[in-house]
């Protein structure tokens, strides 16, 4: 029950930030994330060079714990696809999950429809590259090389095997911007990727790329909750210490 | 859309029309020269000094005069509009937007020669025709003034000025676009002498007259006034007066060529030649108000009504001045000067646009309305096929913009080709770093293996063999795992989750071998399952190998009786949740002919709920896999033993420390497997297998230490190189 | 909130409804037994859909490779994927999948596919992973020379040394010191940092889930 109360509290907090943002009561800025800041440059370079971008959703599967990461990745895919459909070549989206591939196709189709270019949409824009994490990342090396991508944007679940992608991008001269919800994957990406999203930054694509009010309100809610958790932990440590000292 | 100017009325027409849509006269005959001279006019009108060019552009492009002296091959195509021989090889280097700009763009010309004899004027003019390139290394003789071609002259004027072209300078044609007034200093002397007073631009009646247009002699005014009144269309080029020094032309006399005309005109007293500078009034265009006055067409029908006759015979004094005509003040009235405050309030938007008026002065040529102007046509122009005559494709730009575009063009055309990247040497292109790292790693691993056996049958050990002795102690969580499995009820099956891929078998196989081997040694029924697609194959492989190794020595395990592989469990945590909730509701395996596995397999007969399992062994390579089992099996009674990779261990350990009752044991990495083996859990604990484990242990230690050394030295080298490069850049700067 | 078609309204209602029912089943099982009854069939449907998604993914993979066979240079490599897919499919369908002690030939073939094909290929990729991870760490300071990268490098070196078995002949004090360092690193710093990151990730997951449940985010349609 306490978890339910916590969820309701977070929901109310999110609605509060959403309403205040919509009413313009207070405009809280977003902290700077270098990856999101550099991402438009990568997209612009890809569009201008006439090459396609590689967007990867990792080896997450809908319905599993990394569903939220998948949704964040799909959000980023939608935002980026809207921009890159004006390019000569559409982006190529890779995933391990068939359902996710269908969702990604739908997002890109929407982006084309919004740009009045629905006739240029092709179904092979989203593809299942492999069914297991290792085979998936191994297949991404071929995608980077064969599709001559201008860069890879990886937002999803990734383990240490994601180094196969970053190394392929390095060889092909295609930078890799990546974020993962996996701790080991983040460690590898920190060392191997050109830009890395750490921690919950991977969920902030909608706020930074799309400036969506709901997503920005979510970020503010997370910030508030983080400080509340930090405060609770400090209080707990203090209380435990005092109890120990008092015997 | 190209525009043709009618050679008769001077109005713009679409290029696909054969007849002028205003005067309905053929205009194709002179279309080419008229259209091309238009571009030339534009080019000429844009020539000006470089004062407006920004300094940065000057520095980039160098002297503009140098550009003029450049060979014609350097000129982009769009600059060759007026030439018939476009330069080759430059158009492709231009971007499309610049090419399109060039369609109407202008190019600064080199200044004309300081002077030229008047007699050369007629000869020089053809040089500007499309037959000869007007742009080239040679200085252009064309001045900044617009120039005329015969094709643009109406017929009547061509006839009238025919003799003048031989004796006098031809009048300038109407400009295609507004031209900024050029200071008189920029006009070369030869042209000044040649054109004299003719340099005035043809203007619309509503336009203010430039002061330079003054000087029309009275004699010509008097002579040409009635002429134009009688014959000229409304818009025409002013007839230039002869210069004072025209030979054989005395003051008050009409030239010979004009005399025959006067016979058809009302008698006009020849005026005296002006002894003073002509006033603005005098300098008004000679033909400014075409009026039907004086035009008396013979009646077509004898029964023509009187009102129509009356309409044709409108007295000249009653004829309304045309809209927009400048009223002429009486000569004896002094022009009042506006006070400054009132002058400041004068609207600025009434300034002449310089564009041709689109007033329809169509004159009916047939029927009872023949000879009348301004009548409605039987076919309005709007229903006539054709495109809009509005010259929409012309860009309005200033001379400064034109010059800057030209300089930009030069920047593009003369830009040095981008240096091509030097072909990398095969040695540097080769990924030697990757191969070096791989070679060092492989070498270190190989050196931990025995090289063979000597004559006595003893192994020849590698230099790194035996560096890392097998552990003799075990961690607490390993001991607890061992004790938990040792205490399990032999009658109840154990669920083993093989949640790792074949690629992770190198690290996970020792863990699986020691734990499952312990189960086999104890004779516990085993039910295998996997939430990984390829995990089912891993489970089948390990179970087959372990039961086979134990067969005849420890326990004889029979497939389907003592162990079974349920295969892949889809859905991840959802599937686990479903398994926990109702294990027998899981999808049937195999073909329908095989029946329901849960009913045919004796081993599964005792499993009615998840709590019928005595324990759950989770072999997971990732913390997520272990976490899913821990979280989804909450509230159940089977005890959990977690065996994870070394990388996942730090993140899984908190579960073990937080719920030590349900999570009965924890193994993290190959080291834990070795510790478990020391407790006697491995079913393969024969001497030969122990030697294999010892070698694997050595290889693990050597490999990890080699990696650490590579990281240290590699980063040292790269860090030093980076620092040196930075220091060199700073020094170079 | 705008919907481009009534179909999207239905999709949104279904997604939000199922999400709320599932959530309520977890938290209100005691108060609302009816809701908890609904959870089992929903989970079954979810598992089946997940299996169907795997099938859809396999078909997508096959389709992409077929389309690339003749359209791309080097696309002919896909012939191996197609052959492997069809082989595994036929063998899997022929396997009995029962509890008989002896394997039928199709089942033996399945194991044969695993042992000499899948396992070596995966092991090779894992070995390559080790090389590439070393290479990435080796270039760390070449890419960015920052305090964070230096700390990262030192931590990686300490972890590698600590994970290695104890060298023979090392003094006990050194071994104890190494053990203490590794324990502090893996059980204090790593766990603390990992928990902090996981808390942040959990907050992000909660926020993303709530956005979907409250129909503020609709990845399944516009």
DSSP annotation of B728 reads: H
Segment C23-49 shows an average pLDDT of: 75
Backbone CA torsion sign across B605, B609, B610, B611: negative
Q: Give pLDDT tens digits for B223-251.
A: 444 444 334 444 444 444 444 444 444 44
Segment B63-69 shows an average pLDDT of: 41
CB distance A68–C204 less than 8 Å? yes
Segment B170-185 shows an average pLDDT of: 46
Most confident of A86-100, B158-172, B630-644, B690-704: B630-644
The residue among B714 and A60 whose pLDDT is bigger is: B714
pLDDT at B116 over 50: no
CB distance A68–C208 less than 8 Å? yes
Confidence of residue C54 (pLDDT cuts 50, 70, 90): confident
Residues of C in contact with A96 (CB under 8 A): 57
CB distance B622–A171 less than 8 Å? no
Q: Is A227 on the interface with C (CB under 8 A)?
A: no
Confidence of residue B613 (pLDDT cuts 50, 70, 90): very high
CB distance A200–C203 less than 8 Å? yes
Confidence of residue B135 (pLDDT cuts 50, 70, 90): very low
pLDDT at B297 over 50: no
Exposed/middle/buried for residue C67 (C-beta within 10 Å: 0-12, 13-18, 19+): middle
Q: Give pLDDT tens digits for C69-94.
A: 877 777 788 888 888 888 888 887 77
Which of C128, B456, C189 has the alpha carbon at shortest distance from A165? C128
Q: How many beta-carbon pairs under 8 angstroms link B with C?
A: 203
High-pLDDT (> 70) share of chain A, %: 96
Q: Is B2 on the interface with A (CB under 8 A)?
A: no
pLDDT at B383 over 80: no
The pLDDT of residue B639 is: 92
CB distance A183–C197 less than 8 Å? yes
Measuring CA to CA, how many Å separate B297 from each of B29, B257, B308, B366, B371? 29, 26, 11, 12, 7
CB distance A164–C129 less than 8 Å? yes
Nearest CA in chain B to C51: B570
The pLDDT of residue B482 is: 93
Residues of C in contact with B610 (CB under 8 A): none
pLDDT at B366 over 70: yes
Least confident stretch, A195-204, B119-128, B390-399, C23-32: B119-128
Least confident stretch, A202-211, B516-525, B633-642: A202-211
Q: Give pLDDT tens digits for B253-280.
A: 555 555 555 444 444 444 444 444 444 4
CB distance B595–C98 less than 8 Å? yes
**Best residue in C200, C202, C213, C221 to probe A by mutation, most A CBs within 10 Å?**
C200
Nearest CA in chain A to C199: A226
Tokens of B253: 């006399």
Residue A246 Cα, gap to closest chain C Cα (Å): 26
Chains contacting C (3+ CB pairs below 8 angstroms): A, B
Confidence of residue B309 (pLDDT cuts 50, 70, 90): low
The pLDDT of residue B179 is: 42
SS3 content of chain A, % helix, strand, coil (to 5): 65, 10, 25
Segment B103-124 shows an average pLDDT of: 40
Q: List, as one string, the DSSP characters of B334-351.
A: PPPPPPHHHHHTS-STTS
CB distance A63–C50 less than 8 Å? yes
The pLDDT of residue B130 is: 40
Q: Is A134 on the interface with B (CB under 8 A)?
A: yes
The pLDDT of residue B495 is: 95
For A98, which of C60, C135, C156 is closest by C-beta distance? C60
Please calculate the CA angle B3-B8-B12 and round it to the nearest 5 degrees. Answer: 20
Segment A22-43 shows an average pLDDT of: 78
Confidence of residue B110 (pLDDT cuts 50, 70, 90): very low
CB distance B622–A159 less than 8 Å? yes
CB distance B715–C142 less than 8 Å? yes
Q: CA B266 to CA B293: how far, in whole Å?
A: 12
Residues of A in contact with B648 (CB under 8 A): 184
Nearest CA in chain A to B646: A184
pLDDT at B615 over 50: yes
**Best residue in A81, A199, A227, A236 to probe C by mutation, most C CBs within 10 Å?**
A199
CB distance B501–A61 less than 8 Å? no
The pLDDT of residue B485 is: 92
Asked whether the whole model's pTM tops 0.90, one would answer: no
Tokens of B271: 């005026």
Q: Is B102 on the interface with C (CB under 8 A)?
A: no
Q: Give pLDDT tens digits for B414-467.
A: 756 666 655 655 666 678 888 999 999 999 988 888 777 777 777 777 777 778
Segment A123-131 shows an average pLDDT of: 85
* Element at B668 (helix H, strand E): strand B663-668
Residue C101 Cα, gap to closest chain A Cα (Å): 30
CB distance B466–C168 less than 8 Å? yes
For C129, which of A61, A106, A161 is closest by C-beta distance? A161
Instruction: Tell me how far apart the terminal alpha carbons of chain B are, to the nearest angstrom.
Output: 55
Q: Is B103 on the interface with C (CB under 8 A)?
A: no
Tokens of C113: 């596919």
Q: Give pLDDT tens digits for C158-199.
A: 888 888 888 888 888 888 888 888 888 877 888 888 888 888
**Best residue in A65, A99, A137 to probe B by mutation, most B CBs within 10 Å?**
A65
For C207, which of A127, A166, A203 is closest by C-beta distance? A203
pLDDT at B39 over 50: no
Q: CA A132 to CA A164: how far, in whole Å?
A: 14
pLDDT at C97 over 70: no
Segment A114-143 shows an average pLDDT of: 86
Nearest CA in chain A to B500: A132
The pLDDT of residue B120 is: 40
Confidence of residue A176 (pLDDT cuts 50, 70, 90): very high
Q: Is A5 on the interface with C (CB under 8 A)?
A: no
pLDDT at B204 over 70: no
Confidence of residue B725 (pLDDT cuts 50, 70, 90): confident
The pLDDT of residue B487 is: 92
The residue among B38 and B494 whose pLDDT is bigger is: B494
High-pLDDT (> 90) share of chain A, %: 23
CB distance C44–B671 less than 8 Å? no
The pLDDT of residue B57 is: 44
């Amino acid at each position: 029950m306490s978890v339910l109360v916590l969820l309701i509290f977070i929901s109310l907090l999110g609605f509060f930030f959403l309403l205040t943002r919509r009413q313009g009561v207070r405009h809280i800025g977003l902290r700077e994330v270098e990856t999101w800041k550099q991402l438009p440059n990568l997209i612009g370079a890809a569009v201008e060079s006439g090459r396609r971008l590689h967007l990867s959703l990792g080896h997450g599967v809908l319905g599993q714990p990394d569903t939220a990461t998948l949704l964040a990745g799909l959000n980023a895919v939608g935002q980026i696809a809207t921009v890159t459909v004006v390019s000569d070549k559409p982006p190529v989206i890779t995933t391990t999950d068939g359902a996710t591939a269908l969702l990604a196709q739908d997002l890109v189709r929407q982006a084309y429809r919004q740009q009045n270019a629905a006739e240029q949409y092709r179904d092979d824009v989203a593809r299942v590259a492999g069914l297991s994490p290792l085979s998936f990342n191994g297949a991404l090396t071929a995608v980077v090389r064969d599709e001559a991508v201008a860069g890879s944007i990886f937002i999803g679940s990734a383990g240490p095997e994601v180094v196969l992608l970053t190394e392929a991008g390095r060889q092909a001269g295609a930078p890799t911007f990546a974020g993962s919800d996996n701790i080991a994957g983040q460690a590898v990406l920190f060392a191997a990727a050109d830009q890395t999203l750490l921690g919950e930054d991977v969920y902030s694509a909608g706020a930074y790329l799309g400036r969506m009010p709901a997503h920005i309100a979510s970020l503010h809610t997370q910030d508030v909750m983080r400080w509340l958790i930090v405060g609770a932990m400090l209080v707990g440590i203090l209380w435990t210490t005092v109890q120990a000292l008092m015997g | 859309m190209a525009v043709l100017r009618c050679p008769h009325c001077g109005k713009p027409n679409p290029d696909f029309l054969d007849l002028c849509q205003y005067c309905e006269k053929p205009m194709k005959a002179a279309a080419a020269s008229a259209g091309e001279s238009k571009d030339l006019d534009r080019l000429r009108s844009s020539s000006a000094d470089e004062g407006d060019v920004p300094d940065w552009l000057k520095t980039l492009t160098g002297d503009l005069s140098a550009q003029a002296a450049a060979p014609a091959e350097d000129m982009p195509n769009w600059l060759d509009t007026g030439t018939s021989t476009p330069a080759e090889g430059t158009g492709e280097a231009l971007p499309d937007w610049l090419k399109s700009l060039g369609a109407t763009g202008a190019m600064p010309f080199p200044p004309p020669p300081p002077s030229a004899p008047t007699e050369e004027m007629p000869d020089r003019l053809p040089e500007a025709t499309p037959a000869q390139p007007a742009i080239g290394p040679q200085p252009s003789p064309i001045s900044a003034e617009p120039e005329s071609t015969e094709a643009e002259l109406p017929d009547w004027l061509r006839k009238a000025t025919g003799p003048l072209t031989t004796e006098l300078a031809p009048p300038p044609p109407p400009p295609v676009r507004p031209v900024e007034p050029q200071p008189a200093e920029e006009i070369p002397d030869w042209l000044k002498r040649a054109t004299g007073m003719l340099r005035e631009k043809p203007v619309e009646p509503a336009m203010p007259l430039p002061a330079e247009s003054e000087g029309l002699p009275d004699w010509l005014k008097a002579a040409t006034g009635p002429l134009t009144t009688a014959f000229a269309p409304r818009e025409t080029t002013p007839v230039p007066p002869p210069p004072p020094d025209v030979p054989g032309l005395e003051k008050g006399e009409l030239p010979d060529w004009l005399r025959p005309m006067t016979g058809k005109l009302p008698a006009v007293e020849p005026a005296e030649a002006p002894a003073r500078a002509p006033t603005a009034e005098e300098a008004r265009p000679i033909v400014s108000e075409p009026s039907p006055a004086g035009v008396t067409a013979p009646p077509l029908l004898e029964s023509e009504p009187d009102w129509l006759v009356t309409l044709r015979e409108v007295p000249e004094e009653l004829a309304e001045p045309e809209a927009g005509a400048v009223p002429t003040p009486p000569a004896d009235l002094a022009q009042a000067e506006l006070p400054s405050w009132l002058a400041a309030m004068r609207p600025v938007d009434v300034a002449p646009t310089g564009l041709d008026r689109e007033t329809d002065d169509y004159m009916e040529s047939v029927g009872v309305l023949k000879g009348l102007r301004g009548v409605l046509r039987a076919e309005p122009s709007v229903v006539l096929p054709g495109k809009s005559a509005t010259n929409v494709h012309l860009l309005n730009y200033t001379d400064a913009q034109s010059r800057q575009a030209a300089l930009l063009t030069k920047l593009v055309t003369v830009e040095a080709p981008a240096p091509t990247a030097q072909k990398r040497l095969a040695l540097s292109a080769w990924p030697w770093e990757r191969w070096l790292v791989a070679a060092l790693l492989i070498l270190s691993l190989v050196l931990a293996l025995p090289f063979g056996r000597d004559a006595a049958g003893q192994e020849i050990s590698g230099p790194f063999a035996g560096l890392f002795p097998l552990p003799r102690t075990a961690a607490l969580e390993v001991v607890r795992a061992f004790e938990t499995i040792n205490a399990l009820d032999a009658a109840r099956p154990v669920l083993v989750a093989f949640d790792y891929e074949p690629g992770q078998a190198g690290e996970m196989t020792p863990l699986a071998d020691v734990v499952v081997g312990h189960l086999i040694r104890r004779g516990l029924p085993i039910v295998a399952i996997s939430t990984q697609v390829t995990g089912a194959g891993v489970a089948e492989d390990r179970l087959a190998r372990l039961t086979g190794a134990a067969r005849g020595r420890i326990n004889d395990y029979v497939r389907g009786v003592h162990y079974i592989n349920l295969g892949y469990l889809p859905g991840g945590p959802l599937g686990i949740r479903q398994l926990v909730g109702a294990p027998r509701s899981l999808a049937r395996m195999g073909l329908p002919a095989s029946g329901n596995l849960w009913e045919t397999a004796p081993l599964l007969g005792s499993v009615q709920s998840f709590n019928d399992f005595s324990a759950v062994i989770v072999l997971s390579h990732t913390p997520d896999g272990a976490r899913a089992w821990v979280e989804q099996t909450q509230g159940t009674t089977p005890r959990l033993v977690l065996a994870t990779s070394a990388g996942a261990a730090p993140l899984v350990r908190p579960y073990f420390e937080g719920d030590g009752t349900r999570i009965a044991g924890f193994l993290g990495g190959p080291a834990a497997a070795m510790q478990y083996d020391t407790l006697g859990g491995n079913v393969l604990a024969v001497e030969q297998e122990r030697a294999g484990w010892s070698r694997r242990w050595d290889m693990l230690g050597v490999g990890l230490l080699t990696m650490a050394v590579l990281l240290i030295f590699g980063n040292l080298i790269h860090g030093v190189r980076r620092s040196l490069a930075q220091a060199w850049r700073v020094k170079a700067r | 909130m705008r919907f481009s078609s009534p179909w999207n309204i239905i999709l949104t209602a279904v997604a939000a409804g199922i999400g709320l029912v599932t959530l309520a089943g977890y938290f209100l099982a005691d108060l609302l037994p009816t809701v908890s009854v609904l959870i089992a069939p929903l989970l079954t449907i979810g598992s089946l859909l997940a299996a169907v998604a795997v099938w859809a993914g396999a078909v997508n993979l096959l389709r992409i490779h077929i389309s690339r066979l003749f359209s791309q240079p080097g696309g002919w490599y896909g012939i191996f994927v197609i052959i492997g897919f069809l082989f595994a499919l036929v063998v899997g369908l022929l396997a009995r999948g029962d509890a008989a002690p002896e394997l039928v030939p199709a089942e033996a073939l399945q194991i044969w596919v695993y042992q000499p094909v899948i396992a070596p290929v995966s092991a090779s990729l894992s070995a390559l992973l080790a090389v590439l991870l070393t290479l990435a760490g080796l270039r760390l300071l070449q890419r960015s020379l920052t305090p964070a990268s230096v700390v990262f490098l030192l931590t990686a070196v300490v972890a590698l040394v600590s994970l290695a078995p104890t060298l023979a002949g090392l003094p006990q004090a050194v071994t104890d010191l190494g053990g203490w360092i590794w324990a502090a690193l893996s059980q204090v710093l790593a766990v603390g940092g990992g928990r902090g990151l996981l808390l942040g990730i959990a907050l992000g997951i909660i926020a993303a889930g709530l956005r979907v449940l409250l129909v503020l985010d609709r990845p399944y349609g516009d």
